Structure 1
Amino acid sequence: MARSDLSDISAFLAVAREGSFTRAAAKLGVSQSALSQTVRNLEARLGLRLLTRTTRNLAPTEAGERLIQSVGPRLDEIEAELNALTALRDKPSGTVRIAAGDHSAEMVLWPVIEKLLPGYPDIAIEIVIDNGLTDIVEQRLDAGVRLGEQVAGDMVAVRISPDVRMAVVGTPGYFTRHPKPKTPRDLTAHNCINIRLPTAGGLYAWEFRKAGRELNVRVEGQLIFNSATMAVKAALAGAGLAYVTEQRVLPHLESGELVRVLPDWCPSFAGFHLYYPSRRQPTPAFVVVANALREGARVR
């Protein structure tokens, strides 16, 4: 294969990923007409149409999709390796992009990053807030943050927090109007604040465990959020019971704004982990960030 083919394939991948010649041209710093001609030349050499073009839409053909899936990841690896080489300077530099949920970004990432950045002025960190199970390879992110049990087996996983324990909480005022639940099944008689899962779209079944016995409870209530942050706000307003991580509500429990129930039923989960592809060579900037997060977990 001629070297020009690799360059043209890179151009095609940019167009396919952006879904637009205009956006891809701006990203690559070339004219739209030149980029369009490059893709046409590639199609002519391959004897296959790679993109279906209409006045409104642009989508890869079957051949184009196969090229994206087979060649795209390999070119991404080459790009990552070249970035790693160019980043080898006296001081680590470059941008590190991490996907994380709002809770882990606020409670785990930010306390470490806040202290790290002043000592590394050439490092930039982009945190992509996403409460779903983002495919970091597809999104071309350097890493993601998930609970340990959610990390895929083909990823490198680094623990960056202690275990996470759940808590059922409500206001003292709520419990003057409703009896405190003695077992998880009693929750079916309460006004509970539901969380809609960002991936499957269903409502989260509250998970409990005691003495080896596991129990999932489908609760009901007047409020549904796709954010635990809002569930805590609603609980503080006396709107019902919330089931969230203990760390989210610890200050409110200590102040007496919230009261905890069923503590002996609330399980712990493997803490948050930073994860990234095992095949990718990390840049010096990423190594600095990962090491700082690892050390941060040890001092908590």
Structure 2
Amino acid sequence: MTRTTTPRRRVLLAAAAGAALSLALTACGSGSGTHDMGGMDHAASSPTGHDMAGMSHGPNGTDGTTAAADGLAAERGGYRLDGALSGAEYRFTVTGPDGGVLTSYRPEQTMEMHFYAIRSDLSGFRHLHPSMAPDGTWTAPLEGLEPGDWRLYASFVPGAGSGAGTGLVLSRTASVPGAADPVPLPPAATGTTADGYAVTVAGTPRAGAAGELTVTVSKDGQPVTDLQPYLGTYAHLTAFHAGDLAFAHLHPEEEAAEGAGGGPALAFHAELPQAGNWRLFLQFRTGGTLHTAALTLDVAA
């Protein structure tokens, strides 16, 4: 669960990021994909979610204790992701260190599983909270994804095994058949729009250094102060590195207060270990509707 960041919390976050998971990815059948950059093609179930403690993700690494996690592996710490596309659904399991299918998970930001799909050119994005069958099989609906190569991520905290309580991000690739038209990455910018809302991002993070990004939401030139809780806070922010699709979850520094609206400014702890372009996806809720805004952030070395 997220909480207000104190200086001590910042230190802990930075230390956790340095010891987090490093992942390399393996190929997996077909997926369903779509690239949509306006309000972004996305899906999400409830206004709850996960705060992947220590989940700032770096370059392709190893299982060393100082390597940062980047979500680019199907296996980590004895846990393995396996899945297959069945129609417009991606069905997958996580195998634990004992060789059995994992059925015990700990909620993070109130959800036991966060599932992401990102098109290889960063033009399509999905964030889902799939359902799990009693046998440990998860089903993620992926209708309407456009042709192309996709990477599928499972972000979770095991409730059993040697890694119980430790956040993991595992992923595999998938290809949606058909003619795939690549979409150029939009240039770096400090602002974007989604569903009539203007979103600006302030802050100049440097690769490998802890910093802060401040997101401000407005509409029709007026500050938005009625953001509703989503995943335990007022906004959810993920980032993917151009080229290798390394994954990062940027941690909100304020949890949602019951009965109070959020905004217009939201602070996020940012620790992006690689230089270059990162595509940011901000999700926030107003009036019961979930909005997704996307922009490109240039991170200096």
TM range (shorter): under 0.3
Structure with the largest fraction of strand: 2
Bigger CA radius of gyration? 1
